[in-house]
Amino acid sequence: MYYLLLPLLLLGPWLLLRLEKRFKPLKWTGTVVNCYLLGLFLGNLPGAAHHPFVNSLTEACVLLAIPLLLLPTDFMGWLKLARSTVISFFIVCLSVTLMSYLVGKTFSHVDPEAWKAAGMLVGVYTGGTANLTAIGKALEIKNETFLILNTADMILGGIMLLVLMTIGLRFLTWWLKPFDQSNLPDEFHTPWHEAQDKWLKSSKMEKIKLSAQASSYAAFMALIGVGVSMLLWQKLEAATIILSISTVAIGLSFIPKMRNTIGASETGHYLLLVFCASIGSMANIDQMMSAASGPWLWFTALIILSSMALHFTICKVVGIDRDTAIITSVAGIYGPAFIAPFCDLMKNRWLMVSGITTGLVGFAVGNFLGLAVAYALRP
């Protein structure tokens, strides 16, 4: 089992993705959760808990996934969107940053890693799970704390998603003004959509080649991040590497050819799934169970509830419409994957492009905001 752990972690997400198409219960729990559970199972088998390459695998996945997920972002196109979209997402970032800082300050005496957790939740609620992973790795949070925090986020995020799609939508229809459909500007078609279409039409061998090419770009950016860290500190400093990679990837995203890299987003998401399985294999079930009675569920609940409440309140004050407020909130908290269902629910297809792009922008700014809040709270 010791020698099989590494290949199982690498191929496990691929197998789970295929199984989800056949077994609905697996699809209900979600690939991210399934990968964590797979890793937890494999890592707690006799003789498998201390594989020497697993930690290196988690670090490699993060370093490669970050640039792959950032490259498709069309920042200039996003800035050309309706003024209210940009303002509303700024309010999302402001609300999450402020409330995470206050809650982190309040819980600082409860757990010594509260400052790290606050930074991670800033990242996840402005850009999605990828930020939670990147910031957690940069701050070197304990594996057990990472899993518990991620579990709390998934539980509460699922509950809030259901509330937002039902009674929350009705309340916000009364609370905020309706979306103005007059004089809408033309939608812009992002390179992200074009690259995704070409990826879906590619054969298996073509996808392997495209993933390898995209990964080579990511490896180059990762080397730059390592070089910057060595130049500044003469050692590998995780936070410096993460920020350097993010900065380089954002810069390269302004080059159309790089932004239109086919398979970059898909490869990046797969690497995050491998990371989830790997981090799960490094956790100890007994330690997790004992820590589950800790404050993390309340910690996470306070941040997500207060952030959403503050966001929608400010939107009311500044006059942001219902649809824009909801889409930017969903883009920040849940990421691009949830934009289409909400657009269908609100019968507003025009906001789909802006919502997806906002989610990608959120991933870019989330790493910087999360680390800033964490270091501001650091004892």
Segment of 5-9, 11-15, 71-75, 273-277 carrying the highest mean pLDDT: 11-15
- The number of angstroms, rounded, from the C-alpha of 358 to the middle of its chain's C-alpha atoms is 13
pLDDT at 208 over 90: yes
C-alpha 2/C-alpha 36 separation (Å) is: 18
pLDDT in tens, 289-317: 655 556 888 899 999 999 999 999 999 99
pLDDT at 48: 63
pLDDT at 293: 57
pLDDT at 115 over 90: yes
Name the residue with higher pLDDT: 51 or 35. 35
pLDDT category, 236, cuts 50, 70, 90?
Answer: confident
pLDDT at 20 over 60: yes
pLDDT category, 189, cuts 50, 70, 90?
Answer: very low
pLDDT at 177: 93
Q: Which long-range contacts (CB under 8 A, 24 or more apart) does 100-109 make?
A: 100/125, 100/303, 100/307, 100/373, 101/373, 101/376, 101/377, 102/306, 103/299, 103/302, 103/303, 103/306, 104/373, 104/377, 105/377, 107/295, 107/299, 108/377, 108/379
pLDDT at 162 over 90: no
pLDDT category, 224, cuts 50, 70, 90?
Answer: very high
**pTM (global) more than 0.85:** no
Measured in degrees and rounded to the nearest 5, phi and psi for residue 292 equal -65, -20
- Strand, coil or helix: 80: coil
pLDDT at 183: 54
C-alpha 293/C-alpha 308 separation (Å) is: 25
Non-local CB neighbours of 279 within 8 Å, separated by 6+ positions: 36, 39, 58, 143, 146, 147
Cβ neighbourhood burial of 246 (10 Å; 0-12, 13-18, 19+): buried
Which of 167, 178, 171, 169 lies closest to 84 in space, CA to CA?
A: 178
pLDDT in tens, 353-368: 778 778 878 888 999 9
Cβ neighbourhood burial of 154 (10 Å; 0-12, 13-18, 19+): middle
Percent of the chain whose pLDDT exceeds 70:
88
- The number of angstroms, rounded, from the C-alpha of 64 to the middle of its chain's C-alpha atoms is 14
**Token couple for 180:** 């103005």
Non-local CB neighbours of 295 within 8 Å, separated by 6+ positions: 107, 110, 111
How far apart, in Å, do the first and last CA atoms of the chain sit? 41
C-alpha 307/C-alpha 335 separation (Å) is: 16
pLDDT in tens, 366-376: 999 999 999 99
Name the residue with higher pLDDT: 70 or 182. 70
- What's the mean per-residue pLDDT of the chain? 85
pLDDT category, 260, cuts 50, 70, 90?
Answer: confident
- Strand, coil or helix: 91: helix
- Strand, coil or helix: 109: coil
Torsion sign (Cα): 267, 65, 119, 90: negative
pLDDT in tens, 314-354: 999 999 999 999 999 999 988 776 786 788 788 777 787 77
pLDDT in tens, 56-98: 888 888 889 888 888 887 777 667 667 888 999 999 999 999 9
The mean pLDDT of 101-107, rounded to a whole number, is: 95
